[in-house]
Chain A
Amino acid sequence: MIQCSRHAEEGVLLGLRLAALPGLVLGLSAPSALAATQLADNSTVLAQFAQAAGGPAPQLVQDEDGATKIEWHGGVTADYYSRSASGGAILTPYSGGHYHRLGVQSDLRGTSPEGDVAWAQFALTQSDDPSVLMLGNSQINTLSAGRAGQGYRFAVGDVAVSHSTLSANTPLRGALAQRYFGQTLLSASAGVIAESWEALADQGRRRMFLKNVYALKAERPFSQYLQAYATVQGFREDGDSVGSGAIALTPTSGHSATAGMNWREDRLFLQAEAGLSRFGEKGLEGHRDRAFIADGGWQGDKLGLRLGHHDLGRYYASLSGLAGAGIKETYANANWLATSWMSLTGDVRRSENQMAAPPVPPPPATIPPTPVTPYTPFVGITDAANLRAQFNFPDVPGLGLGLSVGESRGKSSGGTAGGNGVNRSQNQGANLTYTKPVWNASLGYQNSKQSNSIAAGSDSRTDTWTAAYGRNWSDATDIVQASWMLNATVAGSVQRQNLESGATATLNTLNLVLSGERNSWGRMSAILGGSRGHDATGGDLRQHWYQLDAGRALGQRGGIRLYLRAMSSFQERAAIAYRDKTAGVQVSYEF
C-alpha cells in the first residue's frame, strides 16, 4: 500500500501535470476546472508511487488547509505449473502441459478532506491454460473508475447497477451517475451487457448477443419512515453482434417501468414494488406482462416474522437478475429464540412455476407460411414447509445439536405433454457438534427422498452419515501468542442411495487434512483422501487424491508457494477414467 496524508487549513486542491485518458477525463474531471492549483510536496508518497509505477509521479498540489489521502493497493501473482491429465473434455476441464498464470490488480484511491473518494480499479489475468481462459490468453477481470461523495456517485467501466428487485440489478460496461437533488435521488445508467471486455471488443469471443441497456431511477423520502421510487429501464439485443449461426436465438428487446416503496417504522417493515413490461423477439409478436412483489415483517427481540408475496408474469422483462419470471409464490418465515438454549426457524410457502419443464410439443400442423408455435405454459405448483432447530446445552458448554426437517410436494398440469405430473421431496437431518479449545468433533445424518413422476428414473432414498474429528496443537499460552501451530482433521462419510428401480449406489469417503504454520518458517498443508463404492449398475468406484501446499513470506510484501495436487478417478473403468496431477510454484507481491 502506498498512502499519503497531509493536513493544512482550508482545503485541498490537486493539479495535474501529466496527460490523462481523454475519455475518462470527459466523464470525470470536468469539475477540476474549478480548482486552482498550487504546488506542494509529499515527497515520500510520491517517490514510492514513482518507484512502483515505473515512471514519474503525479505532482500533488495543495492549498493551505485540508487533508489529502492517496492510497494505492495492488498485487502481482505469478504461477508456473506443469500438469498431466487424461480422460477427455467430458470428464475433466484440465489438459496436460506446462502453463503459466499471471494476475495483476491495482486499486488507486484518493480521498478529499470532505471524505469524497475517487478510485480507479483494474485487475487482469493472463494465462495460456485453457481451463483458466478458454478463449484468448488474457482477460480484464475488473476495470472501473469513479468518484463518490456526499450525495453523489458516478462511475465508468464495470458498473454495478442495483436499483430495485423488479427493475435493474445487473453488471454492465458503461457509466453510472447518481446524485441527490434536495431529498430526491436520481440514478441513471447506460451501457452494454457483454460477457467480458474482450467479448465487447472482439466478435469472435462472443457467445451471446451484446445487449444495449439503460436504467433510470428516482427515489424520494415522504416521511421519516417511508421512501418511494420509480424506475424506467430497457434493453435491446444487437442481432448483428454475433456471427451468423453462432447461436440459435433470435435477438430480443424489452422495456419496463416500476414503482415501489420501502417503509420501516419501529419493528415493522414493508417493501413493495409493481412493474409493467413489454418484451419482444425480433420478427415475432410482442408480449406485455406485469409483476408485483411485497415483502414485510416484524422483528422483535426474540421473534422475527416475515411474510411475502411475489407474482411475476412469464413474459415480464427487466434488467434485474433478482426478478425470476414466471414465478408466483407466497411465503411465511419465522425465527424464534424460544429459550436461551433453543432457536427455531420455520418456513412455509406455496410456489407456482410457470416455467416448469417439460416443454409442450408443437400443436398440429397449420397452413404455410408457418407461424411460430405458441408457447403453452406448463404450470407447476409446489407446497413446501421447512423447520430447523438449534439446541445449545448450557450444562455442557460446546455441545450443540441441529435438527432439520422439510418437505415439498409439487404437481404440474396444463399443456398436452402427457397430463399431470407429481413430484415430492422429503429431507430430514441431524448434526451433533462438540467443540473444545483444542479439539472438536461432529456427527451428522441426512436422509432424503425424491420422486418425480415425469422423470421417475432417479426416484430414490438417500441416507448419508458424516463424522469428523479435529485437533489443534500450538505453543500458545494465556499470555504468549503461538509461534507455531498444527491442525489435523479427519472426516468421513458413508452414503447409500436406494433407487425405486431396486438398484443401490454407495459411496464411502475418508479425508485427512493437516495444516501447520511456524512464524519463522512459513505454512504448509497436506490433504490425503479417497473414496470407495459402487454405482447403480454395480460398477466399482474408486477415487483417491492428495495435495501438498507450502509457502513462506519473502520480505514484508512478497511470498512464494509450492504446490502439488493430484486426483485419480475410476481407473478400473476405462470409459469413465480420468486423472490429473499438477505441480507448480507461485510468487506473489502485494503493496
Chain B
Amino acid sequence: MKAVRAIALLLFACLPAASALAQSSPAEEKKPAVAGFDDMKAARAALDEIIRAYETGDIGLIQARLDPAMIGYQRFIDGMRRDSTSLKQIRLHLFEANVTAGPDVAMIQAAWEKRFFGVADFTPGLFTGRSTFLMHRAKDGWRMAAVSGDNPFSSESGVLATLTVMPSAIPFAGIPVCAGTFPVSIELVDPDLAGLQSVTIEAFTSQGDRESVVLTAISPGRFRRAGLPLCQDAIPPFSSNGTVEINNTAVPATLTFRYIDANPGANRPPATLVRSVTIR
C-alpha cells in the first residue's frame, strides 16, 4: 500500500509542471494518449485470435490480418503453411506474459511452448521459446506487426536452437583405445529445421582434430546422437577421418561441439552455438 500511495503522490507532484514545460509544437493540438489496461487486453485478444487461427490452420485469416509491408511477410506466411502441413494438432501455450504499451503500440513478451505431432509418424514434439509480439493499433483494431525473438508461428522464421552435450567432463581413462565409441549424448533442437532427417554439426579438439558429426531426427526439429567415435591414441589426430582422436600425450584437452544456427530469430544474424567437454 505504501508503494501505491507513493506512486499516487508522485503523480500529483508531476502535474503542476505540465503547463510550465509545454511549448509550441506540432503536437500542440493533440491530447496525449496513454495506453491503459483495456488497450493491453484488446492487443492480447488480437494475438490470441491469431494463435487460435494458427492452431487450426486458418492461415487465410492470419494473412488478412497482416500488413503487406511487413518485412519477411512471405517467409512468415510460407512457414505457417508449411507448419500446418507438417505439424498436426498444434497447441501453442503462452505463459509468463508481460505487456508494455505505448499510445498505438503494444509489445507482449511471453514464453511459449508449442506441442504438435509430426504428420508422417505422429511422433509428439515440443518446441519452446520466448517471443516479443509487436502489436500495432490499426483503424479496425489491433494487428500483429512482427514477432521478435523466437518465432512460434512458422518454421524457418527463426527460433534460437538449443545444443546440449552430456557429460560435460570425460575422464581420459574411460576413453577407449582407437577405434572405439564413447557414450556422449548430443542433442540439437532447432524448430527451423523441422522436416529434415539429419543435421551435421562440427566437433573439434584443442589438439587440432576436427570432425563432422551427424545427428538424426527423432521428431520434427529435434536431432540426437547417443554415441561418438571418440578414442585415445599415442599419435597426433587425423582430421576428417570420422573419429575424434585424443592424443594421450597432450591431456587435458577440450572437445568442443559447434553449430551455426542460420536463423536464430530475434533479428539476430547467424549465431554460433558452442558446447565444450573437458577431457582430463
Contact = CB atoms under 8 A, between A and B. Distances in A.
28 contacts: A14-B13, A20-B6, A24-B6, A25-B10, A73-B37, A108-B7, A110-B15, A117-B34, A134-B95, A134-B111, A158-B100, A252-B268, A316-B267, A323-B71, A331-B69, A356-B156, A359-B260, A359-B262, A366-B210, A370-B208, A378-B262, A386-B63, A408-B78, A452-B195, A454-B195, A460-B85, A539-B122, A576-B122
A196 B96 contact: yes
A527 interface: no
Chain A, interface size category, equals: 35 or more
Nearest to A362: B202
B124 interface: yes
Interface stretch (B20-28, B47-55, B175-183, B224-232): B20-28
A119 interface: yes
Chain B, interface size category, equals: 35 or more
Interface string B106-122: 11010101010101111
B82 interface: yes
B24 to A, nearest CB: 8
Contact of B134 (A151, A316, A321, A347): A321
B248 interface: no
Contacts of B85: 448, 450, 458, 460, 462, 497
B270 A151 contact: no
A404 B81 CA distance: 15
Given A109-B34, A119-B34, A359 B99 contact: no
A355 B158 contact: yes
B126 A351 contact: no
B98 to A, nearest CB: 6
Interface in B169-223: 190, 192-197, 199-200, 202, 204, 206-210, 212
B160 to A, nearest CB: 8
Contacts of B139: none
Interface in A216-271: 221, 245, 248-250, 252
A179 B28 CA distance: 12
B140 to A, nearest CB: 13
Contact of A91 (B15, B57, B115): B115
A425 B272 CA distance: 31
A55 B12 CA distance: 17
Nearest to B74: A351
Contact of A362 (B106, B109, B200): B200
A249 B160 CA distance: 10
B100 A89 contact: no
A122 B71 CA distance: 33
Nearest to B101: A160
Contacts of B199: 358-359
A382 B8 contact: no
Nearest to B20: A34
Contacts of A15: 12-13
Contact of A326 (B36, B196, B263): B263
A120 interface: yes
Interface string A351-369: 1010111111110111110
B273 interface: yes
Contacts of B78: 382, 384, 408, 410, 423, 425
Interface string B24-45: 1111101111101100100000
A281 B93 CA distance: 32
A279 interface: yes
B238 to A, nearest CB: 9
B40 to A, nearest CB: 7
A82 interface: no
B95 A132 contact: yes
B106 A160 contact: yes
A171 B100 contact: yes
Nearest to A294: B69
Interface in A123-171: 123, 131-135, 139-142, 144-153, 158-160, 162, 165, 169-171
Interface in A519-562: 535-537, 539
B273 to A, nearest CB: 4
Contacts of B120: 457-458, 499, 501, 503, 536
Given A295-B69, A327-B72, A505-B88, A117 B32 contact: yes
A431 B113 CA distance: 32
A103 to B, nearest CB: 11
A150 B117 contact: no
B196 to A, nearest CB: 6
Given A196-B98, A378-B262, A249 B27 contact: no
A330 to B, nearest CB: 11
A24 B6 CA distance: 10
A21 B7 contact: yes
Given A358-B193, A450-B81, 17 more contacts: A21-B3, A147-B18, A150-B23, A151-B23, A162-B105, A182-B24, A248-B163, A323-B71, A324-B146, A349-B74, A351-B74, A357-B156, A359-B270, A373-B260, A458-B82, A499-B120, A536-B120
Contacts of A318: 267
A355 B73 CA distance: 14
B71 A327 contact: yes
A35 interface: yes
B65 interface: no
Nearest to A25: B10
Interface stretch (A306-314, A435-443, A470-478): A306-314
Contacts of A324: 71-72, 75, 146, 158, 267
Contact of B22 (A54, A131, A152, A386): A152
A121 B98 CA distance: 13
A105 interface: yes
A497 B125 CA distance: 20
Nearest to A503: B120
Contact of B11 (A110, A115, A362, A446): A110
B194 to A, nearest CB: 8
Contact of B20 (A14, A31, A183): A31
A400 interface: no
Top 4 nearest A-B pairs by Cβ distance? A31-B17, A321-B148, A455-B195, A116-B18
Interface string A397-430: 0000000100010100000000000010101010
A264 B108 CA distance: 30
A131 B94 CA distance: 9
A107 interface: yes
Contact of A20 (B10, B88, B119): B10
B181 to A, nearest CB: 21
Nearest to B4: A53
B14 A32 contact: yes
A147 B14 contact: yes
Contacts of B100: 142, 144, 158-160, 171
B25 A90 contact: no
Contacts of B73: 329, 331, 349, 351
A32 B13 contact: yes
Interface string B237-261: 0011000000000000000001111
B18 A112 contact: yes
Interface string A367-386: 11010110100100010101
A169 B21 contact: no
A195 B71 contact: no
